[in-house]
Structure 1
Amino acid sequence: MNFKMLTMGAMALAMMTGSALADSVNGGGTGGGTSALDNQEKMAPFYTDSGMKTMRSDKEFKVAWMAMKKEDRESMMKDCGDQVVSKSHDDFCAKTKQLGGGTN
């Protein structure tokens, strides 16, 4: 019985460790600090203040959005598709959706 318990415990530990590693590699689906939306350098052009609380006008937002590389826009749109990540960036994501992603 002890061998069975040790084996099950080892399997459980291995599964939890694997899941934790996958979450850290993939950003954890909770923002994890790895989201493009958490990159202050990429997000700064869309805000009027350094605290990133006040968004630029629709026109200025579109100019900043279209000035980005296509890959960066696609990455941000992907992050906006994640319900957990987008929750803390709802205004930004709403504006990107208004632009239709601007991937053209």
Structure 2
Amino acid sequence: SAGYPGTPRTGDVISGLDDVDDSTLVFQAGTQREPDGTMRTSGGRVLCIVAIAGSPQAATASAYENLGRVHFDGMQYRSDIGVTTIAAPRVTV
């Protein structure tokens, strides 16, 4: 969220969680559900999105595609997750 890793802003509405594919897992950490069902940020590391696919490349692409469906003001994310796994050659012995 905005301000992370220093003093993260809280209270921003999180949208798009229902738009994530069924094959994608969303782990919530810095979130809070309001009585009316509205999800809000409540910490610095808000969500972790994990995609399951047939290859590391497909999983990475799916995770970022689904990440694009989720939004909250001040949202920030790493763009290097999976890069070293995808770039590493496979060795068979």
Q: TM-score range by the shorter chain?
A: 0.3 to 0.5
More strand by share: 2
More helix by share: 1
Q: Which one has the largest radius of gyration?
A: 1
Instruction: Give the TM-score normalised by structure 2.
Output: 0.33
Bigger relative CO (Cα 8 Å, ≥ 6 apart)? 2
